Amino acid sequence: MAGRIPQHFIDELIARTDIVEVIGSRVPLKRAGREFKACCPFHDEKTPSFWVSPDKQFYHCFGCGAHGTALGFLMEYDHASFVEAVEDLAARAGLEVPREGGAAAPQQPHDELYVALERAALFFRQSLSGEARARDYLAKRGLTAEIIQRFGIGYAPARWDALLDRYGGTDDERQVLLRAGLVIERQPDTARTQGPGFYDRFRDRVMFPIRDTRGRTIGFGGRVMDGSEPKYLNSPETELFHKGRELYGLFEARQATRSLQRLMVVEGYMDVVSLHQAGVTYAVATLGTATTPDHLQRIFRLVGEVVFCFDGDRAGRAAAWRALENAVGEVKQGRQVRFLFLPEGHDPDTLVQEEGAAAFEARLATALPLSDYLIRELSGRTDVGSVDGRARLVELARPLVNRIPSDVYRELLVTQLAEVIRMPAGRLAELLASGGPSPGPARTESQSARVQRVAAPAFAGRGNLVRQAISLLVHFPTAGAGIPLSEVLERVDRPGIPLLVELLAQLREDPVPNTGALLERWRSRPEYAPLAKLAVGECLVPDEAAAAAEICSALERLVAEHALARLEVLEEKARTEPLTAEEKAELQGLLRTKAQADRPTLAK
């Protein structure tokens, strides 16, 4: 295994890199004031809305929302992995990439993985022509030879070593097959009976190659032809294949239509293939996962409209709601998200074959906009006829609404919701906001707990200080170097405080020169996306000094408010019982803090 690339090297690399040069070598940039602009390479446009900031070492498209650092750009634009992007930048800067754990990293180019996967795809296609059972199965499912060819569908023979025999002759070759996710290494306990080694992952399955946007095979989905389990088997996560990002059929959809307007997300491979065959060539599917925010971001880079299409049964409705929860962080004006529910007992595959593309597409007119679906679903869970029920509806809506980036879209949704609750929209907006804004879009299920916490109406009306301070640090990381950290701040009980404290500590101990460098430190953490979103946001503070002053003032206010609250608690307690020595010490400290906060300069 290659060792990890040390963080200090990434820091140095970003410090030595000029994002304008990196992007400029691929996209023609024009100077515009202190920044540079271009027509966005990630979406179709005629007037430039893609901006590159040399100060921040950060790019951002106002059209499609694409944003990131120089490394992020290479990953997105060149479809490079993180390591490849680092190696590319290092080569430009004349640096050698060091690895943690001593020995220099062995070169593991992805080329041999692509070759192995392409060979496997060919092997599966060839195997299909030799297997009447599989051909019959596909014919019975209504697929034509033309569509089977267009999607490169094949068959994995019912043997433990078909692929291994063909392409795994040497140790090196077997290692490549393993890294490509095509074979599985035997566990030691079975080694005694079967001998050490590997076996084919996919056996006796119809094989659907999964392609990246350039059309290269990066993984497979295999489907059984009988009732055995699991019905679908996907490639594991590999260097090339990340199922939380990939969409089956996206390459084929882009091949079919030069400038796509809309994508439809369905649940299975067969749905995608059937829809394409019928002429609905904008269908794609997630790969055995719920639709993730990553998926949505990819989709909205290409098109302005997405329709989720689900079966009308309970599983379908549950999947639709999960998709909604993951989509709310990505909706905004100019992006359309709708939900199409099929009649119970139907899936897109059978339905489009039954009624044809025209009738199927006519159903799109009945698809529910995200806002309607959200309100309908939540109203169904409460009794909107009663005051209690309407209050409960506000509570249910709050975590979702607060994750919608605030713009016209959110306002419209709040207006719509206000009608259902029979309350003035302005008052409802206040109520929804009183939980304090979420520090960023929830990215994983584990964060929904955090969103819930954020939504608790603990600090009505003044929940912004933490976010402001974090945002200023993201825009002016150098300002963080001189800001003292108080212990009281760590005890402040507000969403985002742990992140703020960690940022401050990090920037003091180990300063970074710009936004891009700061973000690279957080790349592998869940906080990366919310931080990058803050970098995209407007910053009204002109320079580092002003930012430092603003941050200090925000921290002082946070500490003062916390001190005040604690002070009340301790003084209250002191009236009825004696304080412990510890509490007394805290009280004294708090009184000092309060005295400082009461200085006239800070009175606000």
Query: Which residues would be at the binding site for Zn ion (CB under 5 A)?
Result: 40, 42-43, 61, 63-64, 66
| Distance in Å, CB of 376 to Zn ion, minimum | 32
SS3 state at 245 = coil
State the chain's maximal CA–CA distance in angstroms.
88
Q: Which residue type sits at 139?
A: A
CB closer to Zn ion out of 64 and 431: 64
CB closer to Zn ion out of 42 and 208: 42
CB closer to Zn ion out of 79 and 141: 79
| Distance in Å, CB of 293 to Zn ion, minimum | 17
In whole angstroms, give the CA distance from residue 108 to residue 113: 9
What are the E-state strand segments in 217-280?
Answer: 217-223, 232-234, 262-266
| Six-digit token string for 407 | 């713009």
| Distance in Å, CB of 49 to Zn ion, minimum | 6
CB closer to Zn ion out of 44 and 55: 44
| Distance in Å, CB of 243 to Zn ion, minimum | 25
CB closer to Zn ion out of 77 and 199: 77
Torsion angle of C-alpha atoms 288, 380, 447, 265, degrees rounded to 10: 30
| Distance in Å, CB of 475 to Zn ion, minimum | 21
| Six-digit token string for 416 | 């719509």
- Those residues whose C-beta lies under 8 Å from the C-beta of residue 249, and which sit 6 or more positions away, are 151, 272, 273, 276, 283, 284, 285
Nearest to 177 by CA among 127, 246, 112: 112
In whole angstroms, give the CA distance from residue 194 to residue 444: 41
Strand partners, 50: 38, 61
Strand partners, 32: 35
| Distance in Å, CB of 260 to Zn ion, minimum | 14
Using an 8 Å Cβ cutoff, are 76 and 65 in contact?
no
Residue the block writes with tokens 């979103």: 533
SS3 state at 36 = strand
Nearest to 70 by CA among 12, 124, 21: 21
CB closer to Zn ion out of 37 and 494: 37
| Distance in Å, CB of 556 to Zn ion, minimum | 40
CB closer to Zn ion out of 51 and 248: 51
Tell me the pairing of strands 262-266 and 50-53: unpaired
What are the E-state strand segments in 366-470?
Answer: 368-369
| Distance in Å, CB of 43 to Zn ion, minimum | 4
| Distance in Å, CB of 265 to Zn ion, minimum | 21
CB closer to Zn ion out of 77 and 232: 77
CB closer to Zn ion out of 63 and 154: 63
Torsion angle of C-alpha atoms 101, 106, 109, 112, degrees rounded to 10: -120
CB closer to Zn ion out of 190 and 261: 261
| Distance in Å, CB of 296 to Zn ion, minimum | 15
Nearest to 539 by CA among 458, 587, 474: 474
